[in-house]
Amino acid sequence: MIEDRSEEWFEQIVDTPHGNQVKATADRYQGRVWSVRSDSVDFGTSMHQRDVLLHPGAVAVIALDENDRVLLIRQYRHPVAMYLFEPPAGLLDVEGEPPWETAARELAEESGYGAQSWHTLVDMFNSPGGSSEAIRIYLARDLHPLPDGRPRTGEAEEAHLPRVWVPLHEAVGLVLSGHIGSPSAVCGILAAQESQNQGWRSLRPADAPWAARANLEQQGRVHRM
């Protein structure tokens, strides 16, 4: 029997841009936070329509205190009809604002804390089968409470954000047991634990290049608010 190796990959393992198959596109919905379009995509042997949710992108913050406790906030998420425990996070909704500055702003607005030490922890796509949302998760340390506490800038879901400090190893257990399922919490907590196990050698600078975000910008797949 001859082994079929036509679907085995032998080159570098890295996500790569490939956006030149769109032959036509039609706008379906324009909202404040995101929009939806339908693309006619050439797959080489056939054409198919794919709906794409265009998203502005987001950042999240795994904030660790001096006792290696991670800061989580409890927030209502209407699409899933649940209160979720999440790290502070927010949309990239200020034109020209560097993502790490957005992360620092969101940490302040959602928790009332600032941080002296910032690093890029991990990058992810939230739901690449249907959405262009790219998320960068930062590690923030050397924390300090803001003199005036949390700025009351939010409304609705953000008006009341109870916070809790969870030892990192316990947070890992909450993820693996299914007690918390927010993607930024799951990805960020597990990445923080593994990076800590490696002596934090995996950390990148806060302003490290973000290739996935740059590709989305180039391909016109970022929703502008």
For residue 42, give the H/E element and its range.
Answer: strand 35-42
DSSP character string of 92-128: --STT--HHHHHHHHHHHHHSEEEEEEEEEEEEES-T
- Paired residues of 39 in beta bridges: 25, 50
User: In Å, how far from its chain's centre is CA 19?
Assistant: 21
Sign of the dihedral through C-alpha 222, 204, 60, 171: positive
Could you tell me the residue ranges of all domains in the chain? 22-54, 58-207
Q: What is the pLDDT along the chain (225 residues), one digit of tens a residue?
A: 677 788 899 999 999 988 768 889 999 999 999 999 999 998 888 889 999 999 999 999 999 999 999 999 999 999 999 999 999 999 999 999 999 999 999 999 999 999 999 999 999 999 999 999 999 999 999 999 999 888 776 677 777 889 999 999 999 999 999 999 999 999 999 999 999 999 999 999 999 999 999 999 999 999 998
What is residue 60's predicted lDDT score, i.e. its pLDDT? 98
For residue 217, give the H/E element and its range.
Answer: helix 211-218
Q: Are 108 and 146 in contact (CB under 8 A)?
A: yes
Exactly one of 95, 158, 194, 217 is catalytic; name it. 158
Q: pLDDT of 211-223, one tens digit each? A: 999 999 999 999 9
Q: From edge to edge, which strands make up the β-sheet containing 89-91?
A: 89-91, 58-63, 134-145, 113-125, 204-205
Q: Print burial letters for 85-100: b (CB count within 10 Å at least 16), e (below 16).
A: bbbbbbbbeeeeeebb
What is residue 1's predicted lDDT score, i.e. its pLDDT? 67
What is residue 21's predicted lDDT score, i.e. its pLDDT? 85
- Among residues 69, 62, 42, the alpha carbon closest in space to that of 190 is found at 62
Strands 22-30 and 35-42: antiparallel
Q: Print burial letters for 41-75: b (CB count within 10 Å at least 16), e (below 16).
A: beeeeeeeeeebbbbbbbbbbbbbbeeebbbbbeb
Q: pLDDT of 82-107, one tens digit each? A: 999 999 999 999 999 999 999 999 99
C-alpha 64/C-alpha 167 separation (Å) is: 9
C-alpha 128/C-alpha 124 separation (Å) is: 9
Q: Among this protein's residues, is 101 annotated catalytic?
A: no
> Which CATH superfamily groups domain 58-207?
Nucleoside Triphosphate Pyrophosphohydrolase (3.90.79.10)
Locate 123 and state its tokens. Answer: 């990058």
